[in-house]
Structure 1
Amino acid sequence: MTGGLESALAEASSPSWTRRARAGRDLASFADVPEAAEVLVRLLLDAEDTAVTRRTAEALARTGTTAAVRLIALAVVEADDNRADWLQTGVHDARVGPDGVPDVAEACAKLAQDQEEPVRRGAAEISAWAAGTSR
């Protein structure tokens, strides 16, 4: 593993919400690495602070890869309504940000064919957010 990945994985367990949020941002580009993916889902569902959820979702949506959006989809099906709202807000923040982001709808279209039913359900929910319809 690279040093950046290792330090971000360590920060993900910090008691500080700001460090966990930073870890989510730093790990987003490693969404296709199994160790990082597992930690990212945990950060998306952070039980202690919704800011970690929101910022990690935003970072993954900004990455825009199928692997990154897949992690958000997995979190969506596990999240309670409050956490899902913050996941949606993070995705929304990425889409309307000043730099623009890759179209998450494109990744969701690919995930609609995923072998795992929870991924397909989560991707459908994210697609609804991107289309402007939601829960």
Structure 2
Amino acid sequence: MTEKTNGLEAALAQASSPSWTQRARAGRDLASFAGISEAAEALVDLLLDVEDTAVTRQTAEALTRVGSVPAIRLVALALAQADDHRADWLQTGVHDAIVGPGGAPDVAAACEKLAQDPEEAVRRGAADILAWADGPSF
């Protein structure tokens, strides 16, 4: 087993931890694996974490920092399923990544690609994320 595979397995195990800090760490660690279906499923669950909004915020920030189409797609999917409260924390996580050190320069390009996604929920979520990235709050 490679080191990368071990990291994926460890992060997947942490994603279901009762500890919010371990779940938040799992979100950060899994972000680079957004294109792998097992990780993607766990990441959407972490983005919609019902127990702690810090998990939502930190996972959204990590995925936004990755900035790939698969990573931003997961944030868009979660946004489509989120209630207003959770959506606010998703937006905060995206904001943290964009204004933080190094920013998240690939977000707009990823959102533009996702505007062509076959899933309407993804297209809507990507449009919202693009608006956040271009909006006055950033």
Q: Which range, TM-score by smaller chain? A: over 0.9
Q: Distance in 1 between matches of 2:43 and 2:114?
A: 18
Partner of 2:91, secondary structure, is helix
Identical residues among aligned pairs (%): 75
Query: Do structure 1's residue 63 and structure 2's residue 34 form an aligned pair?
Result: no
* 1:104 maps to amino acid: V
Q: Distance in 1 between matches of 2:35 and 2:105?
A: 17
Superposed CA offset, 1:43-71 (max 9, x none):
00000000000000000000000000000
The CA RMSD measured in Å over matched residues stands at 1.2
Partner of 2:50, secondary structure, is coil
* 1:85 maps to amino acid: D
| Unaligned residue ranges in structure 2 (runs of 5+) | none
Q: Distance in 2 between matches of 1:131 and 1:101?
A: 12
- What is the count of residue pairs matched by the alignment? 134
* 2:122 maps to amino acid: V
Matched with 1:108 is 111
Query: Do structure 1's residue 12 and structure 2's residue 15 form an aligned pair?
Result: yes
Q: Distance in 2 between matches of 1:130 and 1:44?
A: 18
| Unaligned residue ranges in structure 1 (runs of 5+) | none
Q: Distance in 1 between matches of 2:50 and 2:11?
A: 19
Which TM-score applies when normalising by structure 1? 0.96
